[in-house]
C-alpha cells in the first residue's frame, strides 16, 4: 500500500488508531470521562480531515472509493459517533460503562460505517458491514446487568449471523456469475452475460435479503423494536442512523451500476419491500406505547420511504436519499438524545406515561422533542418535510405514482403515532415527576440537531446542491 493510498485513507486511520489508542489507555487508566472526550476529539478530527483534505486518489485497492461521496458520509458518520460519545458522558457514568472499551467500540463502529459508505466493491461492502455489526453486538449489550440489553444484543447477533451468511453467499454467487467484485463492472456484467444470469440474480436476491435484515425492511424487521428498546439510548441513536444509513449509502453505489434489464427484474421486488415497510411499519407503530419501540417501527417506515427514492433512481432519487439520510440522522439523534438527557441513573423514560406533562417541567427539551417528531413526520417547517418532498418528487418523476400514494398513506398514519407522544408531553391530564435536567454536553448536541433540523427545513438549498454534486458516477 503506497503512501498516497494511506493518505487517502487518513480519516479512517484517525478513527481506527484513535480507537486502538483509547483501548490501550483504557486498559491502564480506566477514567471514563477523559477517555470519552478523547473519543469525541478523535471523531471530530476525522470529520475535519475528511472534509478539508480531499483525497489524492479516486479509489484505494479497488475496494473503497475516496471521492467526495465517500468523504461526505465519512464526515456524517464521524459526527454521529462524536454525538453518541457526547451523549454518553453522563449516561455512561450512571450505567458504569467501561470507558475505554465503549469509546473504542463506538469509534470502530464509525470506521466501519465510513468504510461501508465508501465501498466500491462487494468485498468492501462485506468488510464494512461486518466490522460495524460485530461492534454493535457488543455495544447493544454493553451493560451486563441489564437483562433487556443482553436479550437485545443476542437477538441482533442471531439475526445478524443469518444476514451475514446470506450476504456472503450472495456475493459469492454474484462473483461466480460475473467474475469480478468491483461494483460497476459486476453489476453491468450481470445484465449482459446470459448464461450465468440466473445465478447472479439469485445472488442478488440473497444480498437483498441480507440488506433487508440490516436495514430492517419488512418482512425482515422483527428484531428492530426489541433491539431499539433494549439498547442504551445513545447506542440506539447510532444504530438507527449510522448502521442503516451507511448501508443505504452503499446501496446507492450498487444501484447506480444496475443496468436497465436487471433493474426491470429487481424493481418489483423493491417495490413490494418498500410498500410493505411503509404500511406494516406504520400499522405496528400505531399501537406502541413505548417511545423507543415506536421510533423503531417508524425507522422501518423511513427505510420504506428511502427505498422508494432509491427505486426511483436518477440524480433526483439518489440525491433525495442522501438528503433524507442527513435529515433522518439529525432528527433521530435529537429524539434519542432527549431520551438520554432525561435519564436518571440510566433509567430512560420510555413509556409514554413517563413523559406525561414533561413539556411543562422541561419546556425546551419538550418542545425540541415535539419538533424532532414533527420532522420525522414530515411537517413543515421542519427539515423532514423537504426530505419527504424530495422523495415524492423523485417517485412521481420516475413514474412510481403508486409508491408515492402509499407514501402519502403512510405519512397520514405516521401523524397519528408521532402525535401521541406530543399529546402526552403537552396535553396529558396528570404529570409525571421531573426528570434529569441534562448536562451541557447533552444540551449542546440537542441544540446542534435542533438548529440543523430547522435550517435544513427553511433553507435546504445548499445541502440539496451538495447532495447532487457528490453523487458518484
Partner 1 sequence: MTSASTHIPWLTLLIVLPLAGTLLCLVFRRMPAACRWLTLASTLAVLLIAIRLFWQGPTVGGWYGFEDAAWIERFGCRWTLAMDGISLLMVVLTGFLQVIVTIISWHQKKHAALFFSLLLLLESGILGVFLASDLVLFYLFWEMMLIPMFFLIGVWGHGPRVHAAVKFFLFTLTGSLLMLLAMLGLYLLHGQQTGDYTFALAALKQTQLGPWEPWLYAGFMLAFLVKLPVVPLHTWLPDAHTVAPTAGSLDLAGLLLKTGAFGILRFAFPLFPAAASASLPLLAVLALTGIYYAAWIAWRQNDIKRLIAYSSVSHLGVVLLGMAAGNVIALQGSILLMAGHGVTTGALFALVSMIRRRTGTRELDRLGGLWQETPILAAFFLFFSVASLGLPGLANFSGEILVFAGTFQHNPLWGALALPGVVFAAAYILRMVQGVLWGTRPPGRTWPDLSWRELLALVPLAVVTLWLGLYPDPFLQPLQEPVRLLVEGLMLAQGGMP
Q: From the CB of 448, what's the least distance to partner 1, in Å?
A: 19
Query: Dihedral of CA 147/150/154/155: which sign?
Result: positive
Q: From the CB of 408, what's the least distance to partner 1, in Å?
A: 5
Q: From the CB of 378, what's the least distance to partner 1, in Å?
A: 9
Burial of 34 (0-12, 13-18, 19+ CB in 10 A): middle
Q: From the CB of 395, what's the least distance to partner 1, in Å?
A: 9
Q: Which is nearer to partner 1, 165 or 363 (CB)?
A: 363
Query: DSSP E strands: which ranges in 191-324?
Result: none
- Residue from 179, 198, 219, 381 binding partner 1 (CB under 8 A): 381
Q: From the CB of 455, what's the least distance to partner 1, in Å?
A: 13
Q: Which is nearer to partner 1, 37 or 468 (CB)?
A: 468
Task: State which of positions 212-241 bind partner 1 (CB under 8 A).
Answer: none
Q: From the CB of 249, what's the least distance to partner 1, in Å?
A: 20
Contacts of 64 (CB under 8 A, 6+ apart): 9, 70, 115, 118, 119, 120, 121, 124
* Cβ neighbours around 451 below 10 Å, total: 11
Q: From the CB of 379, what's the least distance to partner 1, in Å?
A: 6
Question: What is the number of residues in the chain?
Answer: 473
- Residue from 54, 261, 268, 363 binding partner 1 (CB under 8 A): 363
- Residue from 220, 460, 471, 472 binding partner 1 (CB under 8 A): 460
User: For the window 383-422, what string marks contact with partner 1 as x by the rule CB under 8 A?
Assistant: --xx--xx-xx--xx------xx--x--xx--xx--x---
Q: What share of the chain is helix, strand, coil (3-state, %, to 5)?
A: 80, 0, 20
Residue 337 and residue 333: Cα distance in Å, rounded? 6
Q: Label residue 344 left, alpha or beta by phi (over 0 means left) and psi (-120 to 50 means alpha).
A: beta
Q: Which residue has the cell 423511513?
A: 302
CA dist 448 to 333, 344, 392, 400, 443, Å? 10, 23, 27, 35, 8
- Residue from 423, 454, 455, 470 binding partner 1 (CB under 8 A): 423
Q: Which is nearer to partner 1, 148 or 367 (CB)?
A: 367
Q: Which is nearer to partner 1, 68 or 205 (CB)?
A: 68
Which stretches of the chain bind partner 1, using CB under 8 A? 360, 363, 374, 379-381, 385-386, 389-390, 392-393, 396-397, 404-405, 408, 411-412, 415-416, 419, 423, 426-427, 459-461, 464-465, 468
Amino acid at each position: 500500500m503506497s503512501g498516497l493510498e494511506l493518505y487517502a485513507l487518513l480519516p479512517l486511520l484517525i478513527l481506527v488508531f484513535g480507537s486502538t489508542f483509547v483501548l490501550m489507555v483504557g486498559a491502564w487508566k480506566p477514567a471514563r470521562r477523559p477517555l470519552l472526550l478523547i473519543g469525541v476529539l478523535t471523531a471530530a478530527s476525522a470529520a475535519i480531515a475528511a472534509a478539508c483534505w480531499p483525497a489524492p486518489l479516486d479509489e484505494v485497492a479497488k475496494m473503497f472509493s475516496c471521492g467526495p461521496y465517500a468523504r461526505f458520509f465519512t464526515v456524517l458518520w464521524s459526527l454521529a459517533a462524536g454525538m453518541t460519545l457526547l451523549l454518553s458522558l453522563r449516561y455512561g457514568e450512571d450505567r458504569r460503562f467501561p470507558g475505554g472499551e465503549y469509546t473504542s467500540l463506538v469509534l470502530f463502529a464509525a470506521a466501519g460505517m465510513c468504510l461501508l459508505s465508501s465501498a466500491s466493491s462487494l468485498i468492501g461492502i462485506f468488510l464494512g458491514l461486518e466490522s460495524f455489526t460485530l461492534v454493535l453486538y457488543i455495544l447493544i449489550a454493553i451493560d451486563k446487568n441489564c437483562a433487556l440489553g443482553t436479550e437485545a444484543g443476542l437477538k441482533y447477533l442471531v439475526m445478524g449471523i443469518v444476514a451475514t451468511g446470506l450476504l456472503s453467499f450472495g456475493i459469492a454467487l454474484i462473483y461466480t456469475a460475473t467474475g469480478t467484485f468491483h461494483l460497476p463492472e459486476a453489476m453491468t456484467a450481470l445484465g449482459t452475460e446470459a448464461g450465468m444470469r440466473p445465478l447472479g440474480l439469485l445472488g442478488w436476491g440473497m444480498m437483498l435479503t441480507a440488506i433487508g435484515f440490516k436495514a430492517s425492511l419488512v418482512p425482515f424487521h422483527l428484531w428492530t423494536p426489541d433491539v431499539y428498546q433494549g439498547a442504551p439510548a445513545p447506542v440506539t441513536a447510532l444504530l438507527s442512523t449510522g448502521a442503516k444509513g451507511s448501508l443505504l449509502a452503499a446501496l446507492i453505489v450498487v444501484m447506480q451500476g444496475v443496468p436497465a434489464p436487471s433493474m426491470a427484474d429487481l424493481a418489483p421486488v423493491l417495490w413490494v419491500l418498500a410498500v410493505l415497510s411503509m404500511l406494516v411499519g406504520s400499522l405496528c407503530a400505531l399501537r406502541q406505547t413505548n417511545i423507543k419501540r415506536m421510533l423503531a417501527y417508524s425507522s422501518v417506515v423511513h427505510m420504506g420511504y428511502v427505498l422508494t427514492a432509491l427505486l426511483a433512481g436518477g440524480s433526483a432519487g439518489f440525491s433525495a436519499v442522501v438528503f433524507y439520510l442527513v435529515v433522518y440522522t439529525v432528527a433521530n439523534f435529537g429524539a434519542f438524545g432527549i431520551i438520554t438527557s432525561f435519564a436518571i441513573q440510566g433509567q430512560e423514560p420510555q413509556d409514554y406515561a413517563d413523559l406525561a406533562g414533561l413539556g411543562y417541567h422541561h419546556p425546551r427539551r419538550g418542545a425540541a422533542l415535539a419538533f424532532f417528531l414533527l420532522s420525522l413526520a414530515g411537517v413543515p417547517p421542519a427539515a423532514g418535510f423537504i426530505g419527504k418532498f424530495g422523495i415524492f418528487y423523485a417517485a412521481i418523476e420516475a413514474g412510481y405514482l403508486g409508491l408515492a400514494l402509499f407514501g402519502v398513506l403512510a405519512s397520514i398514519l405516521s401523524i397519528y403515532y408521532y402525535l401521541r407522544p406530543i399529546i402526552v408531553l403537552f396535553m396529558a391530564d396528570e404529570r409525571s415527576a421531573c426528570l434529569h435536567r441534562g448536562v451541557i454536553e447533552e444540551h449542546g448536541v440537542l441544540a446542534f440537531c435542533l438548529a440543523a433540523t430547522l435550517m435544513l427545513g427553511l433553507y435546504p438549498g445548499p445541502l440539496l446542491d451538495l447532495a447532487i454534486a457528490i453523487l458518484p458516477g
